[in-house]
Structure 1
Amino acid sequence: MIDKIAASIDEALQDVPDGATVMIGGFGTAGIPNELIEGLIRQGARDLTIVNNNAGNGDHGLAALLKTGRVRKVICSFPRQVDSHVFDELYRSGKLELELVPQGNLAERIRAAGAGIGAFFCPTAFGTELAKGKETREIGGRQYVLEYPIHAELALIKAEAGDRWGNLVYRMSARNFGPVMATAAKKTVATVHRIVELGELDPEAIVTPGIFVNKIVKIERVATKAGGFRKAA
């Protein structure tokens, strides 16, 4: 019987190796799998390459992971914002490597990995520092830059609901990078707020099929100071 439900986050992440490339879903704070990031911090893997749209906010989530000093490199499209002081300090002191990738290219490079595409030409970044050292080619009178896929050993994503086969649905903008990252990693771990019975999810509404998911872990919604619950981002 196929059952991808893990008893805990620690169980789901126990075998993350040092030197792994880890994709982490989310767009800003929407869809960030904070509980999985905390689990990765507890797990202790070092020399990591992190792939995310951003490079952390404040002192929590991805920023907390960077603060441990166990991340060697960040691949992202938007590293700096008003509260990215952890990233700023590490990068400026030479303790963290950055590969800056335009957002559309980032999504397509991840998608290409999942689709088995060896490389692709894209016009974005031609003539800029981001194209330095890369092959370029004129196609149909327009200049293009050769880009390669981004593969990962692990993807950490946040979904709204899933079943024991690993089929996932998302909540609104929390969907963002999760679906493509799930296809591009050797192992995908997802948190969900609801685990439903097989057949309860409408097949037409399933965004990430279970074939791309290895483990799911149920988490609770986070209570707010006002006594209510914060909606899943």
Structure 2
Amino acid sequence: MDDEALVDPDEERTRRRLGPDRVDYDCAPWSGESRSLLASILESEGVDHVWQGTTVTVHAGDSDFVDGLIDEVQAVATPALAADSPRIAYEVRAWPVAFQTQLAEALTDARLPFEWDEAGDLVVYEEHEDEVEAILEALGDPDEGEGVISADDGLVVHQVLDRVHAATTRLVRNPQDARAVLALDAAGAEVEMLAPPFGFTALEWRSFVNLVSDVREALHADGDGALTDGELAEIVEDLRNAVSGYI
């Protein structure tokens, strides 16, 4: 089989659209989760790009915009584990985000390096297997956790997302609507206890849950950290637009 037969035709068409004036970004130091997040943002923003391993290429005319996106990702990026060290993966992609967050916090408290791979599973160094197993055992079975909602129940999932949409629709009009804030808090708490529903990848769902959490925090912020009503309306509208694509 020759090399030409191995070329992805979609990638080749993208390369031709990009033309010779291109910029490469080396994302090798990033974790798989961070690279997946960047890929998802580039797709949602409609930025022409192509990946070659851990390097992403864009048109030079988009580089300033992509620089800003990369700054956003790097602000929350986690470093990749050393590639030359033995690693082990734990399949936690189907866990509710609330349990994944507890796991991440426990690993951080124990100073155990970790990353999330492109599938949304946990990856740690093999030498830390015993410590990680102990943490997992202490967390218990996510399927039996208090308040966990089955993602297999499509009707329940739709109802939860619909409540998020209804609350954000009211909050876009009036970010000080106390009843709408409480409604979003209640729906957001249920969102955190949902495993990734059908149609979501683990990373897409985690990104959505984090957006819900960020909006809830912003609505409750006070003092120097408080946003203006106009700023609140903007981030609430981002959430409403996001959830609109799922209901």
Q: State the TM-score bracket (shorter-chain normalisation).
A: under 0.3
Structure number with greater CO (CA < 8 Å, separation at least 6) is 1
Q: TM-score, normalised by structure 1?
A: 0.24
Flag the structure with higher helix content.
Answer: 2
Flag the structure with higher strand content.
Answer: 1
The structure number with the bigger radius of gyration is: 2
